[in-house]
Amino acid sequence: MLDYIALGLLFFVGIVLFYGIIALHDIPYEIAVHRNHPHQDAIHATGWVSLFTLHVLWPFLWIWATLYREDRGWGFSDGKSPKNHVAHLEQQVGELQQRVAQLEAGQDKTANVAPPPVAAPEPVPPAAPGTTPPAGEGV
């Protein structure tokens, strides 16, 4: 009697593992369907190929499926149109041109003023023969 229970349990565990692995490999495809990924079919087919390549492709499928989102695409943009970016850049260039003009006008006023004198460092006396010079001095 126990032999039949053990055999039934062995079949049950085998079937659960078989379908569990298939369900595991469908996770990237399900993510792609949920995100309305444009490459859903390719992700699904590669998931099946990954079953026969000892699961080497599966992590790449996961990354591929999670990179795309319908609201922001592939994630390399902030959702603003290129016109908004151009307008922002034009505004920044205008501000920079104003600052340069102000700085140039300020330099014209101070061009005739001499810079303050800089004090020269005091000379260091030479070291006595046979002694080592202090740190920071050359030999």
Q: Are residues 55 and 85 in the same domain?
A: no
pLDDT tens for residues 33-45? 999 999 999 999 9
Domain that includes residue 88, residue range: 80-107
Task: Tell whether the model's pLDDT for residue 137 goes beyond 60.
Answer: no
Band of pLDDT at residue 12, cut at 50, 70 and 90: very high
Instruction: Report yes or no on 131 lying in a domain.
Output: no
Q: How many domains, in total, are found in the chain?
A: 2
Instruction: Report yes or no on 88 lying in a domain.
Output: yes
CA distance 62 to 44: 11
Averaged pLDDT of the chain:
85
pLDDT tens for residues 61-115? 999 999 998 877 887 766 677 788 889 999 999 999 999 999 999 886 665 656 6
Bridge partners (DSSP) of residue 73 are 69
CA distance 64 to 70: 14
Instruction: Report yes or no on 101 lying in a domain.
Output: yes
Q: Are residues 30 and 86 in the same domain?
A: no
Give the residue from 67, 90, 118 where a domain finishes. 67
